[in-house]
């Protein structure tokens, strides 16, 4: 985690933004606003106007690089925000853990999950190509993909969900759909969905973004800030997809609902609404969480992925207004507070990669230690179940800053 001088980062209401401020972060998914650059000096009156009208409620500013908030404007310090996030995550941990553990270990399921993942990708590519060409959608074959993913998740939840992080920038839309299908299925199981309802939730995740097939790649893959016209066009994809799916066989109300409402928010500031949060179905609330998590943990042409652990913490920060709390808590139980693939530092000074979750405590995953931070040298790899060890996690670390490839450490590369 990048360190900042005390007091230089402050969270303020977007209403109090002014020219000369340095925007360190917009508090929300980058899918829901036109500013696809990470950090920037707010020096253009047009950008200030767009910032205040795009639906973002709060921003982080860096007072070491730009103007401070006016004295009368309420602010939140980085330290206070971190305490609030810790409080939210502790509440998740206190809730009863419903996960009974996996029938088979991560690496035993991995090869089967790879095969399922490859078949799912091919099916989505085929369906999306039909959509681009204006052909009638053949949904029937997608149901077998949903069933295969559900079976893999039943054997080991984390194997398929970890593979779902592997995406190239050029193949993002196809593999994002596969990933959201898997997250919707795993989350549905956690929430107690069964049978055809669970199957429909998975299919909804697979098809939620099909409306993007009508949006030019020049807009979807643009590396700079979107114009007002381009952002308005992107925001049409939920309704375009809904209209497309209404004409297809094997599509029920759950699939249509998720496609239309996957960018709605609990505070009513999403699109294509506004839809008040109390009117959103459980399935729309589920996909809001799954969609954002997978997008933020994926490399994009305009943005580097956040680590899974950082993403969980950011989503906890945005919980009020963005997500349904019950659904978000259930999702964290699925992926973990330190999801598989997270580099962690232990109290012993060792670094390790999280390889799987344990059933007893979200804070105590299984970790493969391989490096001594104290000695700055490799050590003999060892698999440590933190639920049965004296060691504990001190912090999540940035694997890229350490020069480690998390995919190689998990045997995915």
Specify the 3-state DSSP secondary structure of 90.
helix
What is the Cβ-side half-sphere exposure of residue 153, based on CA atoms within 13 angstroms? 26
CA Rg value for the chain: 21
Q: Are residues 141 and 245 in the same domain?
A: yes
Quote the domain boundaries for residue 181. Answer: 106-335
- Residues 173 and 300 reside in one and the same domain: yes
Assess if residue 98 is contained within a domain. no
Q: Does some domain include residue 244? A: yes
Note the pLDDT tens digit of each residue in 97-153.
555 555 788 889 999 999 999 999 999 999 999 999 988 888 888 999 999 999 999
**Same domain, residue pair 69 and 131:** no
In terms of Cβ atoms closer than 10 Å to its own Cβ (0-12, 13-18, 19+), residue 347 is exposed
300 and 151 in a common domain = yes
- For the chain, the domain total comes to 3
The 3-state DSSP class for residue 241 equals helix
Task: Write phi, then psi, for 252 (nearest 5 degrees).
Answer: -105, -175
Q: What percent of the chain shows pLDDT beyond 90? A: 75
Alpha carbon distance 173, 209 (integer Å): 8
Q: Are residues 294 and 243 in the same domain?
A: yes
Would you state the pLDDT for residue 357? 87
Last residue of one domain, picked from the residues 39, 62, 78:
78
Q: Would 378 be classed as within a structural domain?
A: yes
How would residue 296 be classed by pLDDT, with cut points 50, 70 and 90? Answer: very high
Which residues pair with residue 62 across a beta bridge?
A: 9
pLDDT beyond 80 at 3: no
Phi-psi region of 383 (alpha: psi -120 to 50; beta: other; left: phi over 0): beta
Per-residue pLDDT for 224 more than 90? no
At which of 335, 354, 387 does a domain end?
Answer: 335
DSSP-based three-state secondary structure for 376: coil
- What is the average pLDDT value for the chain, to the nearest integer? 91
Instruction: Please name which of 336, 318, 413, 304 lies closest in space to residue 57, comparing C-alpha atoms.
Output: 318
- Over residues 309-319, the pLDDT tens digits come to 999 999 999 99
* Statement to judge: residues 164 and 38 lie in one domain: no
Domain contains 125: yes
* Model pLDDT for residues 302-358, shown as the tens digit of each residue: 678 889 999 999 999 999 999 999 999 999 999 999 999 999 999 999 999 999 888
Local structure of residue 101 (DSSP, 8 states) = -
Q: Which residue has the higher pLDDT, 54 or 284?
A: 284
210 in any annotated domain: yes
Distances (CA, A) of 350 to 164, 339, 389: 27, 18, 13
What is the SS3 assignment for 367?
strand
pLDDT for 355-371, tens place per residue?
988 877 889 999 999 99
Q: Which of 315, 335, 355 is the last residue of a domain?
A: 335
Asked whether residue 195 is domain-assigned, the answer is yes
User: Does 123 fall in a domain?
Assistant: yes
Give pLDDT, residue 303. Answer: 74
From 371, 342, 329, 408, select the one nearest 95 (Cα to Cα). 329
Could you tell me if 58 and 188 lie in one domain?
no
Residues 294 and 151 in one domain: yes
pLDDT band for position 2 (50/70/90)? Answer: very low
Residues 383 and 294 in one domain: no
Residue 149 sits at φ, ψ, to 5 deg, of -65, -45
Cβ within 8 Å of residue 23, ≥6 positions away: 17, 35, 39, 40, 41, 42, 51, 59, 60, 61, 66
Residues 366 and 285 in one domain: no
Q: What's 221's domain CATH number?
A: 1.10.3210.10
Residue 162 in any domain: the answer is yes
Do 313 and 366 lie in one domain? The reply is no
Q: How confident is the model at residue 178, as a pLDDT?
A: 97
| Pair (110, 65) in one structural domain | no
Paired with 61 in beta bridges are 10, 23
E runs forming strands in 360-404: 366-372, 377-385, 393-397
Instruction: Check residue 235 and report its DSSP letter.
Output: T
């Amino acid at each position: 985690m990048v360190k900042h001088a005390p007091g230089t980062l402050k969270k303020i209401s977007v209403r109090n933004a002014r020219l000369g401020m340095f925007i360190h972060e917009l508090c929300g998914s980058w899918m829901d606003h036109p500013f696809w650059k990470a950090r920037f000096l707010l020096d253009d009156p047009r950008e200030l106007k767009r910032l205040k009208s795009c639906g973002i409620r709060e921003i982080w500013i860096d007072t070491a690089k730009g103007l401070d908030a006016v004295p009368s404007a309420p602010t939140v310090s980085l330290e206070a925000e971190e305490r609030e996030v810790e409080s939210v995550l502790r509440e998740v941990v206190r809730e009863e853990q419903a996960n009974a553990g996996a029938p088979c270990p991560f690496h035993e399921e991995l090869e089967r999950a790879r095969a399922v993942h490859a078949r799912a990708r091919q099916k989505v590519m085929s369906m999306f190509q039909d959509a681009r060409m204006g052909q009638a959608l053949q949904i029937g074959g997608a149901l077998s993909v949903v069933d295969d993913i559900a079976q893999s998740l039943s054997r080991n939840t984390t194997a398929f969900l970890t593979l779902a992080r592997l995406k190239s920038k050029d193949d993002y839309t196809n593999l994002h759909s596969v990933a959201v299908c898997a997250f919707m299925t795993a989350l549905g199981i956690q929430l107690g969905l069964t049978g055809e309802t669970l199957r429909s939730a998975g299919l909804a995740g697979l098809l939620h973004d099909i409306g993007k097939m009508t949006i030019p790649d020049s807009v979807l893959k643009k590396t700079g800030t979107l114009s007002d016209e381009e952002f308005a066009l992107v925001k049409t994809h939920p309704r375009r997809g809904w209209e497309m799916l209404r004409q297809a066989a094997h599509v029920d109300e759950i699939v249509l609902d998720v496609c239309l409402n996957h960018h709605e928010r609990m505070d009513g500031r999403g699109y294509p609404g506004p839809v008040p949060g109390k009117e959103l179905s459980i399935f729309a609330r589920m996909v809001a969480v799954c969609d954002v998590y997978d997008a933020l943990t994926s490399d994009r042409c305009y943005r580097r992925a956040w680590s899974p652990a950082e993403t969980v913490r950011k989503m906890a920060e945005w919980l009020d207004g963005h997500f349904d709390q019950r659904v978000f808590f259930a999702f964290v139980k699925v992926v973990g507070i330190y999801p598989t693939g997270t580099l962690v530092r232990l109290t012993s000074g060792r670094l390790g990669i999280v390889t799987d979750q344990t059933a007893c405590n979200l804070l105590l995953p299984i970790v493969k230690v391989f490096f001594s931070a104290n000695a700055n040298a490799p050590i003999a790899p060892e698999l440590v179940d933190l639920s049965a060890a004296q060691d504990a996690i001190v912090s999540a670390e940035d694997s890229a800053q350490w020069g480690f490839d998390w995919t190689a450490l998990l045997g995915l590369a």
